[in-house]
Amino acid sequence: MALLGLLIATAAAFAITERLKLVKSPIYGTQVSKRLSPVCGCRHSKATISVILRHGDDVTVTIVDARRDPVRILAVGRPLPRGRAVWRWDGTNDRGGRAPDGSYRVQIHLVKAHRTILLPNRIALDTQPPLVLHAATARAAFSPDGDGRSDVERITYEFDSPAHAVLYLNGKKVLGPTRTHQPKGAVTWRGRVDGATLPQGTYVLWLGGVDLAGNVTPVAERRPVIVRIRYIEPTRQRVVVRAGAIAGIGVVTDATSYRWALAGRSGVHSGPLFRFRAPSRPGRYTLTLSEHGHSATATVVVGKARR
């Protein structure tokens, strides 16, 4: 008899369990924001909680922390019809202060259904901006002239947490946020601002980040990166030579060839050393070196020829 009773009890429990499986949840269609940063000033500044009520009910919604302690009550016994219901949490607690960074969940109590449901979705409250640990260039100089030779500067970086990289020049964003948000990575800059290629010179870029919650690296904590744009330049700014004599000047460029002009003469040359014959008349002349529309000059001082 005892065995028979045990079998009957087991069968009854199984039947109840199977029947409960067929009972539809009073809540479905759950959508909860994954991240929240009340200080970001972005779309993540508030968390959205959205569910569909299968039946109308009096609803209480509570934000709880990792220990399931109440942090903020968003609604108390609010009568709602069946259908979609939406609440938003700004990261504050019931005392009006900001809740500490951490993981939070949403608890929904349905008075009429006599059900309290803890949603599995977690909200990560994060107010800490990404810290730049490292930023460096790969080249001493680059030439964004479109010839396929040293056209870009590659900047490697590392953050203390996952973040999208952003480059700034004079406070203006010139690249990013990048698609990837890995803590380590690299970006390539083509020397452009608002679609225009910058002239030859040395520039200071500042690297910062935007994390998944929308927190941005503060200006004071961005990492500076010095980059140099060089199209073509002489190794000296002044050459002194006697009239009619042969002189030479070094030329630094990534171009395979370049044009030169001096005292009404011009031509095309290649290689790191440009040799030329000085004008026959003493005076000061300008040597112009150019490649792909970019130019640099040097002064040629011609003295009297030897007698």
Residue ranges of the domains in the chain?
Answer: 28-125, 132-229, 233-303
Common-topology check for domains 28-125 and 132-229 = yes
Percent of the chain with pLDDT over 90: 91
Decide if pLDDT at 4 tops 90. no
- The CATH number that domain 233-303 falls under is 2.60.40.10
Confidence of residue 306 (pLDDT cuts 50, 70, 90): confident
Confidence of residue 305 (pLDDT cuts 50, 70, 90): confident
Superfamily the domain 132-229 falls into: Immunoglobulins (2.60.40.10)
62-108: pLDDT as tens digits: 999 999 999 999 999 999 999 999 999 999 999 999 999 999 999 99
> What architecture does CATH give domain 28-125?
Sandwich (2.60)
173-186: pLDDT as tens digits: 999 999 999 999 99
Instruction: Record the tokens describing residue 281, joined without a space.
Output: 């008349």
Mean pLDDT over the full length of the chain: 93
186-209: pLDDT as tens digits: 999 999 999 999 999 999 999 999
Does residue 287 contact residue 300 with C-beta atoms inside 8 Å? Answer: yes
223-242: pLDDT as tens digits: 999 999 999 999 999 999 99
Predicted TM-score (pTM) of this structure: 0.82
Confidence of residue 10 (pLDDT cuts 50, 70, 90): low
Looking at residue 20, what is its pLDDT?
A: 44
136-165: pLDDT as tens digits: 999 999 999 999 999 999 999 999 999 999
Looking at residue 23, what is its pLDDT?
A: 67
Give the mean pLDDT of 251-275: 96
Higher per-residue confidence, 132 vs 22: 132
Confidence of residue 134 (pLDDT cuts 50, 70, 90): very high
Q: Strands across the sheet with 294-303, in order?
A: 238-242, 294-303, 283-291, 258-262, 265-269
